[in-house]
Amino acid sequence: MAPGAGAARAPRLIQVSGDVALAQTLSGLAASWRLDPEDMLSQIVGDVAAVQLVSGAKRLTALATEFVSRTSENLAEYAAHEAHWVASQGSQQMLVDDLAQLQHRLDASAARLDALAARVSEYESARGGGQS
């Protein structure tokens, strides 16, 4: 497709007509124009209050920026210094396997203890029944 061929087929959303110099001047003004919230607020609440409000807003913005910066630095430092305390996936799996084996051995010991208790009970009842 040739350059500009797509533009010829696209519907025209913006129409420009009039003085080119005026359009360039307006474009330059729009690019350099900055919103002044202090001036806008001064018309509503007065000059002194507007200065204080804008100053407070700037301080809050600076505090929020500092908070985010320090928090990310602290988290990075924590991660760097405490990484050796975090268990790897392999060591976690070994722990799980060891715990499962220990549970199995504990269950087997409990079963042997129950069997021994049953034998002792039988022995005592046989001993006690024979002496009566």
Residues of the chain short of pLDDT 50, as ranges, are 1, 7, 132
Can you give the C-alpha Rg of the chain in angstroms? 41
pLDDT of residue 66: 96
pLDDT of residue 64: 96
Q: What share of the chain is helix, strand, coil (3-state, %, to 5)?
A: 85, 0, 15
Give the whole-angstrom CA distance, residue 5 versus residue 23: 26
pLDDT of residue 16: 63
pLDDT of residue 12: 57
What is the pTM (predicted TM-score) of this model?
Answer: 0.39
Domain coordinates in residue numbering, the chain:
34-85, 87-132
**For residue 39, which of 29, 20, 24, 53 has the smallest C-alpha distance?**
53
pLDDT of residue 1: 47
